[in-house]
Chains A and B, each alone.
Chain A
């Protein structure tokens, strides 16, 4: 049901049940958030999205439902002060030095500090040293001193991957993350889907593949479809200036809705493996030796022609591939049927 609220002095129509944040997003009004993520349930813990409601109240936009006649101010001087103060508190709590953080340039905390004009780090240091666990897991790195305890990793694991590897432990200023019973990631039930890393707003969780291999602004993004199982997950790949694949993120518009498994996340080294074939090979004197495309293609064409002529079309068989595209599969069956003249084509659908 449609209701009306006043948003920054403007009357806006919205649906009952929407949160203030959802209305603001729809209206193109930017509200700073850290613990909020559209892929997981609401948390309301970072408090950065606080807005002014009905002049005197402060409410978190991510959790507060709109009600008819509500008056919302998304930003004013006091709100800016509040948000900046909260950011300062977060900076006080952790080790947020972008210089040696692999999330540099891809950090929501960094962006917000920039946006809210934090020029010098706050005085004081109330940090508790938390876990640094960067070697136990083959794929994931955990540098919890960069953690802002937004809980997105906890929810990514519990609500998307459904494994519940992460949880909060400790209390108050000693609150921290835990996997298993205070064990390192490598000794937990983590299956390394990497969803927690994908949702981490800072450099607290990162991928081993990215470490030391390029910073955000050096990376080129390209989308493709995962080559493994038949789900057809859409993946956003990051490629560094050396042309290496360094990161894979689940794309929201694929059937996977942003999720990936361990293969989708870490299974692409083979594309750039030194074992890749770089030239055609022909067997000469029992050995496979490099050759030119022309020679290889002519050789194949000649031999197939010859065998077809000598033994008939049905003496030729082709295996097409569940790893190749529709176009390639189409073309090979066309080749076998139209050029060779047989229906001897099959692939590993049954294997």
Chain B
């Protein structure tokens, strides 16, 4: 039981402003020993923070990391997103249930383990994966699960540092031969926990250079470089910076590190492997947009990223790189971390801002855009980790250099996250415009077990799939968009001939249903309806007109949803039906046999979820 004094102490530590609510609750949940927030604790927090209890109740129910019922000492979260599903998440689920003798939503009698499922954990190259409290474990097999769980019985620490070594940043990067290494250059070479390593390898030169010219000049350089947002939408970074409202008000740089798109793990590798590069990118952005405060919103599951970034921030402050008049200039800048709580939608920039302010991660209608009224209604520039990390090298080496690789409209390199049925999975850095064939054959070393390629999901669950016909299409933002797909965050999830498209789509729709925030009508109800229809297909009780129904509904959602989440399901649905209509029609026959769907229905989509 948490005492009133403990609650007061936590509030004292983090400050009782609403914007600290998430981290306060996370701390209290950790302190509970049973990974939950008791109602009495919530009431006390509400009172001490002068917040309505209803707001706290609504907040706790929004973020999946929180529970108001006791769980156990260790919460096991098994990833159910498409990359892990493709690699056998169902078997992981079965193994854990068998080893512990519990079902989902249950605790072992000794109060040690509680079983849940979750969406993408960002370790997709080592799928299937699970998280025990904050420790991540990949490449799971039955034997490995037995050994992992027994190690927790003996050593009950789970703070992110007990993750398996397969999670390590440097290990995730595929052999560099054939890659165009820019962003990844220092990862594995420098110690991310030592600022000297970073400065000795040329770090913090970009910001110095930026400070020697005017903010407008910095914006021009970034504009000239053609750098486009790497989070998924591909909006030109320099242009975004130039849209930030001018004036005396406080302005912010916000780094979107809520990497949640299933199949994406690049930002985690970047933050864990080279945290100072992100700080430097944010400083430059801050200088260019006249912002003096930066926030990094990191998803709560990325414990190690949070710890490394915090370490980097403290070192940078100690070195005088953050704080007042940095590098002897007249420019003040400091960076703070905000944590997420398990909500994919918070990757949407306005949801992210609401979440930073201590609200439910509901997206805001736009306009106003964050550049006009963002965090605390002040102008805010929101950029992805990869985008911001690209900035120092642009400052150092110039816009022209940056454009030397890539396509005409999409300059530079792109990180691709390889997962699924490949002989080699991991992170690669390749010029924009690289082909899928090159990625699969050269870097992925072909399809696992010599099976045939069926499709690749590009850009994550919110992206579409591409088939054999697009093997030689240059992968950049605009080309894919023209083809009805999206480059998104750089997910390359490869599926082989054994994959059932209906089963795959069911997991994708289940993801959307789980992650819809519920604010706007089309997405809230539409996502549930899409999952239901797809489930009917998997159950082979749907009819052919239901296929049109899926497209009609997803089109409506595309036209009317408040944010990108609800606008996305059309992409997987449309591309799936384009390539595999026959498979879908087959599933409309009650006598059709599908082992994959049967497995998902009987072993995974059971009970309530």
Contact = CB atoms under 8 A, between A and B. Distances in A.
Contacts of A166: 54
B559 interface: yes
A182 interface: yes
Nearest to B55: A167
B25 to A, nearest CB: 13
A173 B562 contact: no
A47 to B, nearest CB: 5
Interface stretch (B243-251, B398-406, B523-531, B595-603): B523-531
14 contacts: A44-B520, A46-B520, A58-B559, A60-B365, A65-B367, A89-B525, A148-B521, A168-B58, A171-B343, A172-B518, A172-B524, A173-B527, A179-B54, A189-B53
Contacts of A164: 52, 54-55
Given A47-B520, A82-B556, A173 B525 contact: yes
A92 interface: yes
Given A45-B519, A47-B560, A181 B39 contact: yes
Given A90-B525, A165-B52, 12 more contacts: A47-B522, A89-B526, A89-B529, A167-B52, A168-B519, A169-B61, A172-B517, A172-B524, A173-B518, A178-B61, A180-B57, A181-B43
Contacts of B518: 149, 168, 170-175
Nearest to B43: A181
A172 B39 contact: no
Interface stretch (B378-386, B451-459, B508-516): B508-516
Contact of A126 (B46, B61, B525, B559): B525
A165 B556 contact: no
A320 B559 CA distance: 65
B516 A86 contact: no
A170 B61 contact: yes
B572 to A, nearest CB: 17
Contacts of A188: 53-54
B560 A167 contact: no
A168 B360 contact: yes
B118 to A, nearest CB: 13
The size class of the interface chain A forms with chain B is: 35 or more
A299 B552 CA distance: 83
Given A45-B519, A58-B559, A173 B58 contact: no
A274 interface: no
Contacts of B64: 171
B181 to A, nearest CB: 40
Interface of B: 39, 42-43, 46, 52-58, 61-62, 64, 68, 343, 360, 362, 365, 367, 513-522, 524-529, 532, 552-553, 556, 559-562
Interface of A: 42-48, 50, 58, 60, 63-65, 82, 85-86, 89-90, 92-93, 124, 126, 148-149, 163-175, 178-182, 188-189
B168 to A, nearest CB: 33
B53 A180 contact: yes
B529 A172 contact: no
Contacts of B360: 168
A33 to B, nearest CB: 12
Contact of B529 (A43, A50, A126): A126
B520 A45 contact: yes
Contacts of A44: 365, 520, 562
Contacts of A50: 559-560
Contact of A171 (B39, B54, B516): B516
Nearest to A94: B525
B524 A124 contact: no
Given A167-B57, A173-B525, A181-B53, A82 B365 contact: no
Contact of B61 (A89, A171, A180): A171
| Leading 10 A-B pairs by shortest Cβ distance | A175-B518, A44-B365, A164-B52, A173-B528, A167-B54, A172-B516, A167-B58, A89-B525, A63-B365, A169-B58
B385 to A, nearest CB: 25
B528 A85 contact: no
B54 A82 contact: no
Contacts of A181: 39, 42-43, 46, 53-54, 56-57, 68
